[in-house]
Amino acid sequence: MKTSETIILEIDPFNIEEEKIKEAAKAIRENKTVVFPTETVYGLGANGLSEEAVKKIFIAKGRPFDNPLILHVTNIKAFLEYAYVSYSLLEKMEKLVPGPVTFVLKKKKIVPDIVTAGKDTVAIRMPAHPIASKLILYSGVPIAAPSANISGKPSATLSDHVIHDLKNKVDYIIIGGKVEFGIESTVIDLTAGNKPVLLRPGPIPPQKIAEIFGDIVVPDFAYGYVEADYIKAPGMKYRHYSPDTPVILIEYQDKEQMINKVLTEYNKYSNPIILCLREHYNFFKERNMNCDIIGSEENYYEFAIKLFEMLRKYDEKVEVMIVEGIEDKGIGIAIMNRLRKAAHKIIK
């Protein structure tokens, strides 16, 4: 849907111009839509207390109305305003906040049903990004925001992605440089019983959460293999992170086996690309194969930041993308979750 022409604001996150951020905050208060950077991915935000404003987010993204949004707040006390949280729980949450982590809590009445897709729980996050924080602070309301991409497509980690997907579908786009992590926040459900449940892996790995909260339940669907029981994780029932060009994922295995499986797939197509580990790049390049580096075994954070960028870069440029996977450890769980959901075919 075309609204009106999008106003683009370029803001340096290290030297925020007050006038520009205040203009964007005013737009939020006027129930307009504003795309802004966070430390995870770009978000598509609107006044989280206004049904009219939040509706515009769903329409701009083409997002199904039964997929709930995350409320973004700028201080820890806000968790108490929008959800029922005990002080002992809040003390634990404080150790991870602000940061790339979202908590699912019992919601208070003030949160409109449209934000939570009618559920009695609400997802809340306090981002650490300076532009996101100031935008929320100046707007004076919690900002409901999913990732700033067309529903089902890879999330936006660069401002070019946002422009591509959402220009003239939203009121404002803040161009605010690169994001830090490149994958969406870790989502933890604190309402499921006495143990926290990992609904979506993200930059904060389950081990880190367990250190603070004690045991954490990691359901099978967190790995991205099986469809979630969407009552528990409503967002999971939809196709996610998928470019139009098919993705073939090769699960992590030893180097020789992995390369053999890549070669078998590669030879089936006339115009494939291999999105490979840095450690395998020379092998493919020396054989004149079409390839690019998506990450390395050495540094999974590099993989996370490049993941969606690479899936978008080669979308509709090749016949198929063959992606080399990594191990399900640390942030690797989150990366493999996204890749398994994006994949049309998974090879073990």
Binding site for ligand AMP (CB under 6 A): 67-68, 70, 104, 116, 119, 121-123, 146-147, 184, 187, 199-200, 233-236
Return the DSSP state at 111.
Answer: S
Write down the least CB distance from residue 159 to ligand AMP, Å: 18
Bridge-based pairing state of the strands 43-47 and 34-36: antiparallel
> Which range in 147-155, 204-212, 222-230, 315-323 contacts Mg ion by CB under 5 A?
147-155
Residue nearest to ligand AMP according to CB distances in the complex: 235
Q: Give the C-alpha separation, 52 to 55, whole Å.
A: 5
Establish if 147 lies at the interface with Mg ion (CB under 5 A): yes
Judged by beta carbon distances under 5 to 8 A according to partner kind, the member of ligand AMP, Mg ion, none in contact with residue 234 is: ligand AMP
Q: Which is closer to Mg ion, CB of 32 or CB of 200? A: 200
Judged by beta carbon distances under 5 to 8 A according to partner kind, the member of ligand AMP, Mg ion, none in contact with residue 121 is: ligand AMP
Write down the least CB distance from residue 46 to ligand AMP, Å: 13
* Residues 238 and 152: beta-carbon distance below 8 Å: yes
- Who contacts 260 (Cβ-Cβ below 8 Å, separation ≥6)? none
- What mask, x for binding Mg ion by CB under 5 A, covers residues 91 to 110? --------------------
Establish if 157 lies at the interface with Mg ion (CB under 5 A): no
Q: Which is closer to ligand AMP, CB of 68 or CB of 130? A: 68
Q: Which is closer to ligand AMP, CB of 119 or CB of 285? A: 119
Residue 2 CB neighbours (<10 A): 9
Helix and strand element counts for the chain (H, E) = 12, 16
Judged by beta carbon distances under 5 to 8 A according to partner kind, the member of Mg ion, ligand AMP, none in contact with residue 235 is: ligand AMP
Write down the least CB distance from residue 254 to Mg ion, Å: 33
* Residues 315 and 244: beta-carbon distance below 8 Å: yes
Q: Which is closer to Mg ion, CB of 151 or CB of 253? A: 151
- The residue to which tokens 């075994």 are assigned: 297
Write down the least CB distance from residue 146 to Mg ion, Å: 5
Q: Give the C-alpha separation, 100 to 183, whole Å.
A: 9
Q: Which two tokens stand for residue 270?
A: 């006339």
Residue 51 CA, chain-centre distance (Å), reads: 23
Establish if 133 lies at the interface with Mg ion (CB under 5 A): no
Q: Which is closer to Mg ion, CB of 6 or CB of 102? A: 102
Furthest-apart CA atoms within the chain: distance in Å: 61
Q: Which two tokens stand for residue 300?
A: 């999974």
Q: Which is closer to Mg ion, CB of 306 or CB of 341? A: 341
Write down the least CB distance from residue 346 to ligand AMP, Å: 21
* Residues 64 and 117: beta-carbon distance below 8 Å: no
Write down the least CB distance from residue 155 to Mg ion, Å: 6
Sign of torsion over alpha carbons 103, 106, 109, 114: positive
* Residues 304 and 334: beta-carbon distance below 8 Å: yes
Residues 159-198 that bind Mg ion (CB under 5 A): none
Q: Which is closer to Mg ion, CB of 105 or CB of 148? A: 148
Write down the least CB distance from residue 145 to ligand AMP, Å: 7
- Who contacts 193 (Cβ-Cβ below 8 Å, separation ≥6)? none
Q: Which is closer to ligand AMP, CB of 70 or CB of 276? A: 70
- Who contacts 157 (Cβ-Cβ below 8 Å, separation ≥6)? 41, 42, 178, 179, 182, 305, 308, 309
Judged by beta carbon distances under 5 to 8 A according to partner kind, the member of Mg ion, ligand AMP, none in contact with residue 68 is: ligand AMP
Contacting positions for Mg ion (CB under 5 A): 146-147
